[in-house]
Amino acid sequence: MKRLKTIVLPIAMFFAFTNISQAGASTHTVNEGESLWSISMDYGVSIEDIKELNGKPDDSILAGEELEIPTSANAEEEDLLARIIHAEAKGEPYEGKIAVGHVILNRVADDQFPDSIYEVVHEVTPEGAYQFSPVLDGSIHEPAGEESKQAAREALANEGQAGDSLFFYNPEKATNYWNATREETKTIGNHVFAR
């Protein structure tokens, strides 16, 4: 019996560690009709990051090809991004939902803001107010709709290529006149985006 345990234990450990490493690895087998763009949307990573990781000089891919997929935001961050998009841009056009996601990601990348999606969404101003009202009113905890989830994936996939907006507001609802002092970058639906 002792000999059986001596043999079984190393085999069990091998499979346990193999499963862990495979769970951390992310590969994708290219299906007929897929493009780097569609794959980047599915995984929420940029085309450039996929190309760089796989040593691809251009956008060409072949059905059956194995691609390594870089990690982007983890599932919890992606869910939080989708929920803030849902809470802030409910009823706005899809393009506006993506733009809200870009503002969050632009803040993560900007030195004047915190370094994670969670910290940006939950940031408190020097005056003691939350940056985003859904955190204050609790609507951040509502599940995101499918369109907001897709907008989050698309924002993550286009991270770094989304302009430089760091703020957005609805001029009909905003009570902080400081927003109007910012340089406007675009207007989508009811939201004004600014830097």
Is the pLDDT at 178 greater than 50? The verdict is yes
Cα 148 to Cα 156: distance, rounded to the nearest angstrom: 12
- According to DSSP, the β-strands at 27-29 and 167-169 are unpaired
DSSP per position, 123-176: -B-TTS-BSSHHHHHSGGGSPPPHHHHHHHHHHHHTTTSS----EEE-TTT---
Average pLDDT of the chain, as a whole number: 84
Residues 80 and 149: their CA atoms lie apart, in Å, by 10
User: Are residues 21 and 90 both part of a single domain?
Assistant: no
φ/ψ bin of 139: left (φ > 0), alpha (ψ from -120 to 50), beta (otherwise): alpha
pLDDT > 70 fraction of the chain, expressed in percent and rounded: 85
Cα–Cα dist 101/97, whole Å: 6
Q: Which of 27, 52, 68 is the last residue of a domain?
A: 68
3-class DSSP state of 33: coil
Residues 56 and 132 in one domain: no
Closest to 84 in 3D by CA, of 130, 45, 37, 125: 130
The predicted structure's pLDDT at residue 157: 86
Number of other residues whose CB lies within 10 A of the CB of residue 112: 6
Where does the pLDDT of residue 149 fall: very low under 50, low under 70, confident under 90, or very high at 90 and above?
very high
* Domain shared by 100 and 179, yes or no: yes
In this prediction, residues 122-146 reach a mean pLDDT of: 93
pLDDT digits (tens, 9 = 90+) for 26-60: 899 999 999 999 998 888 888 888 999 999 999 99
Domain end position, chosen among 49, 68, 87 = 68
pLDDT at residue 160, rounded to an integer: 63
pLDDT (average), residues 19-24 = 32
Question: pLDDT at residue 9 above 70?
Answer: no
> Which pLDDT band holds residue 11 (cuts at 50, 70, 90)?
very low
Residues 175 and 114 reside in one and the same domain = yes
Please give the residue range of the domain that contains residue 157. Answer: 75-194
Q: How many domains does the chain have?
A: 2
Q: Within this chain, do residues 178 and 92 fall inside the same structural domain, yes or no? A: yes
Rounded to whole angstroms, what are the CA distances from 36 to 51, 64, 95, 97, 125?
Answer: 8, 13, 21, 22, 39
Q: What is the CATH number of the domain that holds 118?
A: 1.10.10.2520
- Quote the pLDDT of residue 12: 37
In angstroms, rounded to a whole number, what is the distance separating the alpha carbons of residues 165 and 195?
5
The pLDDT of residue 173:
84
- Whether residue 102 sits in one domain with residue 122: yes
Same domain, 79 and 36: no
Query: How does pLDDT run across 58-117, given as a tens digit for each residue?
Result: 999 999 999 999 876 688 999 999 999 999 999 999 999 999 999 999 999 999 999 999
Last residue of a domain, one of 68, 93, 110: 68
Query: CATH no. for residue 6?
Result: 3.10.350.10
For the segment 186-192, the average pLDDT, to the nearest whole number, is 95
Together in a domain, 45 and 124: no
